[in-house]
Amino acid sequence: MNILVKNIKMLMGGEIAEGDICISGDTIAAAGTLPKEFTAEKIIDGSGKLAIPGLINCHAHSYMSLFRNLADDLTFEDWLFGSIMPREDSLSPEDAYWGAMLSCTEMIKSGTVCFMDMHMFPNKCAEAASTLGMRAVMTRGLTGPDRTEKDALRRFNEHMQEREQWADDPLISFKLGPHAIYTCGRDYLEFLIEKAKETNQEFHIHLSETLNEVKNCYKEQGKSPVEYLNDMGFFNVKTAAAHCVHLSDHDMDILAEKNVSVIHNPKSNLKLANGISPIPRLLEKGVNVCMGTDSQASNNTLNMFSEMNFAALLHKGTTGIPTVCAAREVLDFATVNAAKALGFEKTGAIAAGNKADICILDLDRPEFYPRNDLAAALVYSANGSEVDTVIINGEIVLEKGRLTKFDEEEIYAKARQVAERF
């Protein structure tokens, strides 16, 4: 339908404008001035509200919402290998579906319109995103020693089958998801490079997340994880790399030269004591920095407002420079930079011709008074509870704070039933 959002403040190019937003089908027809010829089937009163580009979460594991607060205050190795992976092994595809439904609900209700997921259960996370109307990039977690190993080949084939099954869906797309260098052997990574080029796909990978990962790579390969992947030609395929905490200056030069997008996950990295990604230095070198939450098992939320706040404050404190990671720059991490990382040219900004992926916030909240700088308030004051309406691809998926496409209570009940087993 055609939707008119009248008399609303809107974030455009980092600044606040005011006017109307006209949505025709899945596209923003106009932003600012109402065209005389535009007619709307639905009108939203934007008085006292602010429209922003829907936020984009570039790194999540949506099925893992079921593990929230089950493995806290552990070392990374105890967390991953001792707690999370054994629980993952006990999940059924149906469990994963309801975990993903819970995650999508959490994301929509806190203003996220799109996410990139690394998952284990083909179709289940895509089904959840599709059911609730989210835009999503699916990456099947790929692990294995080499291309001949049975399970490694199975996982790749599952990815290809899932990609084919969802090929006609305008909201669901795919990248190849080798999990990490410590779960994928060199032969398997080289196989995936070949397949990525053959099938015109991109990569999403965990990279240089922990100090042990880096130390082991130097011990086994004589080089850093970034150098190791670069030397085998991995970055000749467009790559979005999550975490990138432990980087040398040379590593950062490689990431910049190869146009690798770095997905910053500040809260997850802090909680697991993995360290702090050198984001200011990466920005100086021209690296495209975007943002993700990781999973509720390591965060413990998927709230991008919280993530933006952490990023803006963290790097000021660690560098001693209050001007780094300014509010508008961090907003770009979660919008235009994220859209660039995912290859979505027509998302990440409110502009005529872009996809209608819009989040509308209620400004009649104490955290938005006085309204001295609303762009800064989004990073330093907002907490996500202000989200009133979410429009994705021209469809209203959240209205007055409630999902429009599925019963929230059923999602909570199903997730609770599954989680009781843990």
Alpha carbon of residue 221 to chain centroid: 31
Distances (CA, A) of 259 to 203, 235, 394: 12, 8, 31
What is the predicted pLDDT for the residue at 395?
98
Q: How far is CA 155 from CA 63, 142, 146, 163, in A?
A: 17, 6, 12, 12
Assign 36 a pLDDT band (cuts: 50, 70, 90): confident
Token duo for residue 263: 């997905």
If pLDDT is split at 50, 70 and 90, which confidence band does 236 have?
very high
Count Cα atoms within 13 angstroms, Cβ side, for 24. 11
Asked, as a colleague might, if the bond just before 300 is cis with ω within 30 of 0, I would say: yes
The CATH superfamily of 2-53+356-408 is Urease, subunit C, domain 1 (2.30.40.10)
Q: pLDDT grade, residue 88 (50/70/90)?
A: confident
Q: Do domains 2-53+356-408 and 55-342 have the same CATH topology?
A: no
Tell me, what's the pLDDT at 90? 87
Residues in the chain: 422
Q: What is the mean pLDDT of residues 272-284?
A: 97
Residue tagged 């006609």 (tokens): 168
DSSP per-residue letters across 252-299: HHHHHHTTPEEEE-HHHHHHTT-----HHHHHHTT--EEE----TTTS
Distances (CA, A) of 271 to 72, 176, 213, 223, 290: 8, 27, 17, 27, 19
Query: Is the confidence at residue 71, as pLDDT, over 90?
Result: no
| pLDDT at 277 exceeding the cut of 90 | yes
Does residue 422 carry a pLDDT above 80? no
Pairing of the two strands 358-362 and 289-291: unpaired
68 Cβ partners below 8 Å, 6+ apart? 296, 297, 300
Q: What is the CATH number of domain 55-342?
A: 3.20.20.140
Domain ranges (residues) in the chain = 2-53+356-408, 55-342
State the Cα–Cα distance between residues 238 and 203, nearest whole angstrom.
Answer: 6
CB atoms within 10 A of CB 331: 23
Give the pLDDT of residue 76: 86
